[in-house]
Structure 1
Amino acid sequence: MPHDSASPALSMDADLSAPPERVPGLVETLLCILGYFALQFGFGGLFGALSQLISRQFPQNVPAAPDRLIVVVILTLICSATITIAVLVRRWGARATEGGLSGLGFTPPDGRHIAFATVLGFAAPILGGLLTSWLAGGHDVSQAVSDIADKAHLGMRAALVPIAVVVGPLVEEVLFRGAFLATLRARMGDGGAIAVSAAVFGLVHLPDLDWLWYAVPNLVLVGLFCAWLRVRSRSIWPAFVTHAVNNAMATVGWFMR
């Protein structure tokens, strides 16, 4: 009957005329990245002040300063990462589970990409270490979190490992290889997006590296590996694996000094 064929056509027209779901633009994504570091600053100040207050009130019942600082770092990163990931996933909506051009990449990974990501995770600190040594010309390079761990007791170093290996890489992958890379790919293609996202990823870590520029290329290399994996695999998880393995290699040194 005529009316039976008209209804699907009307429904299709309605779907086609509906505006597509808008994903965040470049400015909004950059504000999310800045917001993550602002949250770290705010929570770090809050928990640091609480730590100082408790140590003054109960000087005989609190851990030493390096151990208290690790507690501050753990709480700061957990709170900052949780809020940041929740905001991004909510903002991207259904596209958070898409692996395409404008998705965050929370899609199931292929096993071969995970295997290759693991290899890259082991290769990154080796290649990056050689590059940094060449650029540094014999100067020492360390990150703030490693300096904190070196002064803390063994148990507190162990407590910091999941934060450095899981929480930190997860939120940074969602930010840089999820949100930021997606907005760049829509504007400059895969090659340019991979390069720019990796460069920005390295540069934002300069304060944590005590502004030692020759330590940045190492992080840029990690960013290149992770961004390439994200594009190639259509999933954020291989990039997370590379980042996590790279960080895990760095934490080994905390227990060998």
Structure 2
Amino acid sequence: MFSLHIPLGIGGSSIVAYVLRQPALDPEVQVISLLVVQTLELAGALLLLSTAARPEHKLTNFFQVKKTDKERNWVLASALGFGFLLLMILLTSLVTSISSGGGRAANSPIVNEIMQSSNAAKAACAFVYCITTPLLEETVYRGFLLRSLASRTNWQQAVLVSSAVFSAAHFSGENFVQLFIVGCVLGCCYCWTGRLSSSIAVHALYNAIILMAT
């Protein structure tokens, strides 16, 4: 019932296959190429935000905690956000399953193939989904986009707009609603705690749970 979105870096595997002149990549090569592309995307995003962003949107500011936010228990907020996220995804999955007359695959065929291969491929896949992807997406969509929108409008609208962009950027029409909900919960975690580490932790835990269900 659950779905796990494919990182944008998965498209890099087709480029690797073209360079290697292979119609299809082995799971190990595929996950390594995914790891490399995701790492390059993360490094590029961090470099861009560190050098080109306006002072208030500098990378170092994303991890600064305001004095008013230090009193809030970000661990408790993250735990509540994670629990609420799983509940909402479960409910939407049940609705989708009932409306479609049956369940569907938990993950993409690419992820399933990787998770059924060697332990090294599984470890690399887990690193991508639980470390690299949360860092990249939370920095871009919550740290930069949501923060930028919130400086021009109220935080509720900023969460909704950034979540819609987050969902659309995954190019998954069938998972748009679930990804939008994920974005909203992560955005609320960031806004309430004032810590990007909160949304990163929830994002990583969510991906880990879904990956374990594969």
Q: Same fold judged by TM-score > 0.5?
A: yes
Q: Is the 8 A contact 1:70 1:156 kept in 2?
A: yes
SS of aligned partner of 2:38:
helix
Matched, 1:231 2:191: yes
Aligned residue runs from structure 1 range 1-257, under 5 A: 40=9, 43-50=12-19, 52-53=20-21, 65-92=26-53, 94-95=55-56, 96=58, 103=61, 105-108=62-65, 110=70, 112-136=73-97, 137=99, 138-144=102-108, 146-207=111-172, 211-212=173-174, 215-254=175-214
| CA drift at 1:171 | 0.7
The runs of 5 or more residues in structure 1 that have no matched partner are 1-35, 57-63
Q: Is the 8 A contact 2:85 2:181 kept in 1?
A: yes
Amino acid at match of 2:203: H
Change (3 A) 1:48 1:89: farther
Higher relative contact order (CA 8 A, sep 6+): 2
CA RMSD in angstroms, aligned pairs only: 2.8
CA distance in 1, matches of 2:75, 2:16: 36
TM-score w.r.t. length of structure 1: 0.66
Q: Is the 8 A contact 1:181 1:193 kept in 2?
A: yes
TM-score w.r.t. length of structure 2: 0.78
CA distance in 2, matches of 1:143, 1:253: 9
4+ aligned runs moved over 6 Å, structure 1: none
Provide the residue aligned with 2:3 in structure 1. none
Q: Is the 8 A contact 2:46 2:59 kept in 1?
A: no
CA distance in 2, matches of 1:44, 1:77: 11
Provide the residue aligned with 1:3 in structure 2. none
Change (3 A) 1:84 1:192: same
Q: Is the 8 A contact 1:129 1:218 kept in 2?
A: no
Percent of aligned pairs sharing the same letter? 16
Change (3 A) 1:148 1:253: same
Number of positions where the alignment pairs a residue of Structure 1 with one of Structure 2:
198
CA distance in 2, matches of 1:69, 1:97: 30
